[in-house]
Structure 1
Amino acid sequence: MTALLIHNAMVLTMDPALGDLAQADVLIEGSRIAQVGRALDAPPDARRIDARGMLLIPGLIDTHTHMWQGPLKGLGGGLWGTPDYQKHVFPMREKFSAPDMQDACFAAGTEMLDAGITTVLDFCHNTMTPGHAEQSIAGHRRTGQRVLFAYGMLGEFKSLAADHPWRIAQVRELAAELGRDSAGRVRLGLAVGSLEYSGLELVRTEIELGRALGLPMSFHQNPPAQIRQLGEAGLLGADLLPVHANLAADDELEMLAACGGGISFTVEGEFGGGRAMNIIGRAHRAGVTPSLGVDIPSRVALDLFAQMRLTYHVMRAEEAMAERLTGRWPLARRPGTPHVQPRHMLEYATVNAARAVGRGDELGRIAPGCLADLVMLSTGPYSMSLGDPAAHVVLQSTPADVDTVIVDGQLRKQAGQLVGLERADAAEAIRRVRERVLAGEAAIAETAP
């Protein structure tokens, strides 16, 4: 197996033992990183990529996106609150056939790889039939993206209990199938049903199933006190990832921190939807592990750079508001304030996110033994920022700067061009879904809020 040497990069390892390395090399052998350092020796037949002037970071990890909504881009652009979403976007899942799911997952995964997102937790709450799950997985396999396919337990509201047996049976079948594929990039997780719809007993059954099968799990935490409810029921754990949790109380954050848990924040949708945003800073300070997701591509671009940048500014604004409310104005530095730094955002999208998807030991860092999921960023014609290079990634970079993407040691993008994938194929998949589901562009305009 031919080795791959990336040399002369500015390497942000996100590994505390290695730190940032200027003019450094990364040697990849097979699917894993073999060495990280300066002036590395490589086998004579190794493939070489000159990364001079480039930033090399771990592949970005999205911990919460509904990828079936990729072809619905723009449909949720004017949403105003949850009722709008439930009226205009969420019901669209009933119009998706199983083949639509394959097209949607393929198109969204291709676009995400193009934007440097090497791993995603696909919270698939559109498994309306067994075929929907099977075709979604088939779409993911086509892209080569690393996917935690979180099987959605929330189906038709009117038949949640009646449908539970076949969903549980399929989860068991898929766990056996994907578990045998030890080299596969698509793994199974569980998108636990929402407590407000499913009730505690169905959710308990799902969590116990996930734990019996060793599956990472996630759930929407929208109404208040649900983390407390799960904690009191003995169901919280580091393997159960809440999403949003904007109304979580401090004692709930203490529960999560005590079990080593995290929260996935989808900041653009939450902030734009008027939700309380001080949760991120409170979670961070409480020792809960924050990570980031796009959430609904029907409204938000498949772009984690934008999520990092917005999260940083939202958190800084919250800190500034707290200072103003206590009379400390104009702003001045004092011990512990400001707390959040740009580098924290890159941690959220790499090391923290790796923990959230159950791969903290081998993803999210550039270090020997880790899986070789890497992104190389151009710093553009106007040079890299001064100071912390992580700040350049968070505050200056966009998907347009993604030069090279490597997943499992294999090139998926190089010199700005996808490898083994065609953007035109993804666009055609989107067209097919829209034609079948929305009956063309006219229907898109008619269903927009």
Structure 2
Amino acid sequence: MTRQTSRILIQRACVLTMDAALGDLTEGDVLLEDGRITAVGDQLSAEGAQRIDAAGMILIPGLIDSHTHMWQGPLKGLGAGNWGMADYQKHVFPLREKFGAEDMGDATFAAGVEMLDKGTTTVLDFCHNVMTPAHADQALAAHRRTGQRIVFGYGMLGSHGAPASEQDWRLAQVRELARTLDAKPTSLLRLGIAVGSLEYVGLAAMRREIETGRELGLPMSFHQNPPGQIRELHAAGLLGPDLLPVHANVATDEELAALAACGAGISFTVEGEFGGGRPMSIIGRAHRAGVTPSLGVDIPSRVAMDLFSQMRLTFHVMRAEEALAERLAGRWPLARRPGTPHAQPRHMLEYVTVNAARALGLGECLGRIAPGCIADLVLLRTDPYGMSVGDPAAHVALQASASDVDTVIVGGVVRKRGGELQDMDRAEAAAATRRVRSRVLAQ
């Protein structure tokens, strides 16, 4: 499939730049050239450019998911009734052992098409199902096929009871991929490391993986579930802005201060965390502490691959946590006071654009609509019922849905227009899902 970048002029959109210097444009134009945004303003001219009339639409940066296991795409619904981690570990996670390399390719392709269709242009694919080198190769081939912007988190976690020596071939493949994959920020496929969980692999193995990642200049991420792990990593000198914790629901204020001091963020997967009974005050505490939150779907086996629903749920979870604190302090009924409520609808859009770009190490060039930034954009329809009154970012976070995604642009290339995918076939993605289910679930 050949993709040519072109000169595109988007006209008359309500532009949410997510850039502090530019702000919002009630009706503005955005010019794209050679995969980058070159101008943002009013009534721009661009001779010979392809024109997109976006009157009545909202233009936002492409949505960025900072933590999803894309291999679970075809397993959607399998974890719907899970009750805590025990159910997940019993019914979903062991299926890693049944996935062949071919299944990894099909599953990753199907998930990528669906996520692009729903406006998610970039994903940190935390691929903790690299059971053989071929598993990684097939997943990477699928990413190349979809053309979604990916940070491929090469999974270091092996099979249950696997020998520690498995780390050797995984790190060897990471080194080879680092040599061959394009590391430029504009590359659609960049390498990262999905570091093994501290409770499974231990500090020594985790240190080796992190040090390898830093030697190679790779972004890294890790699951942070049991208490005290951030403190342990900090004491070991391993925290850094290139190491993204996921979940961290039980992190202490001291640990948040350590993350903030080194410029790190946290990826929250709110639907899975909240539905799994985890404490949720962490998002507001992290935000206030200067630890930038970002959002991810996490487990498609349970959660829809849709960042709009994640924004909406996150807002209401954060507001509920703030209201609970007010009740416990005897301040009831609710009344506004300085600094409360803290969570605002616009914050949710920040979490899946500017914050997520920073979490992936792309904060300088992604997640904003500003000259020089990578041209990853989404146009949202507001018809037939019109845009909300007030802040248009609130419309995106609380009113919009994946069905409103009209146009998706990745690297200056139109991937969806007028609600229709341009160079991908939904039927092909559905067929890939069926193949995985037939082989893995015998359905």
Q: Partner of 2:224 in structure 1?
A: 221
Matches within 5 A, 1:12-411: 12-43=16-47, 45-179=48-182, 184-411=187-414
Distance 1:314 1:159 in 2: 39
Letter of the 2:85 counterpart: T
Name the amino acid aligned to 1:184: S
CA RMSD of aligned residues (A): 0.9
1:310-356 Cα offsets, whole Å, 9 max, x none, are: 00000000000000001100000111111110000000000000000
How big is the shift at 1:23? 1.2
Contact 1:154 1:160 in 2 (8 A): no
Q: 1:443 matched to which residue of 2?
A: none
Which whole-Å CA distance do the structure 2 matches of 1:335 and 1:2 have between them? Answer: 48
TM-score, length of structure 1 as denominator length? 0.97
Give the Å deviation of 1:157: 2.7
CA distance in 2, matches of 1:309, 1:345: 8
1:168-192 Cα deviation digits (max 9, x unpaired): 1000000111137886301100000
One-letter amino acid matched to 1:85: Y
Distance 2:61 2:368 in 1: 6
Instruction: Give the counterpart letter for 2:337 in structure 1.
Output: R
- Could you say which residue in structure 2 is the equivalent of 1:436? 439
Code of the aligned partner of 1:266: T
Partner of residue 9, structure 1: 13
Residue deviations 1:378-429 (CA, integer Å, cap 9, x gap): 0121110000000000000000000000000000100000010000000000
Amino acid at match of 1:256: L
1:445 paired residue number: none
- Give the counterpart letter for 2:127 in structure 1: C
User: Structure 1: which 5+ runs fail to align?
Assistant: 441-449
Separation (CA, whole Å) in 2 of partners of 1:284 and 1:233: 25
| Aligned equivalents of 1:114, 1:433: Cα separation in 2 | 20
Tell me how far apart the structure 2 counterparts of residues 331 and 185 of structure 1 sit (CA, whole Å): 47
Q: Percent identity?
A: 72
Check the 8 A contact 1:64/1:120 in 2, yes or no.
yes
Asked if the contact 1:157/1:197 (under 8 Å) is kept, the reply is no
> Residue type of the partner of 2:31?
L
Gaps of 5+ in 2: none
The alpha carbon displacement at 1:22 in A equals: 1.3
1:402-421 alignment runs, 5 A limit: 402-421=405-424
| Alignment CA distance shift 1:182-1:121 (3 Å) | closer
Residues 6 and 412 of structure 2 are in contact (CA less than 8 Å); yes or no, is this contact kept in structure 1?
no
Q: How far did residue 158 of structure 1 move? A: 1.3
TM-score normalised per structure 2: 0.98
1:160–1:198 Cα contact (<8 Å) kept: no
Q: How many Å separate the matches in 1 of 2:438 and 2:289? A: 47
Helix, strand or coil for the counterpart of 1:158?
A: coil
| 1:107-157 per-position Cα deviation (integer Å, ceiling 9, x unaligned) | 000000000000000000000000000000000111110000000000113
Shift of 1:41: 1.1
Local SS of the residue matching 1:27: strand
SS state of the match for residue 211, structure 1? helix
Write the distance in 2 (CA, Å) between the matches of 1:295 and 1:184.
23
Q: What does the per-residue CA deviation read over 1:26-78, in whole Å, with 9 as the maximum and x for residues that have no partner?
A: 000011001000000102x2100000000000000000000000000000000
CA shift, 1:162, in A, is 1.6
Partners of 1:150 and 1:160 in 2: CA distance: 21
Residues 355/181 of structure 1: CA separation in 2 closer, same or farther (3 Å cut): closer
Is contact 1:35–1:367 with CA below 8 Å preserved after alignment? Answer: yes
Q: Distance in 1 between matches of 2:184 and 2:37?
A: 21
SS at match of 1:161: coil
Q: Measured at CA, do residues 182 and 256 of structure 1 come closer, stay the same or move farther in structure 2, by a change above 3 Å?
A: closer
Distance 1:183 1:249, change over 3 A: closer
Shift of 1:228: 0.4
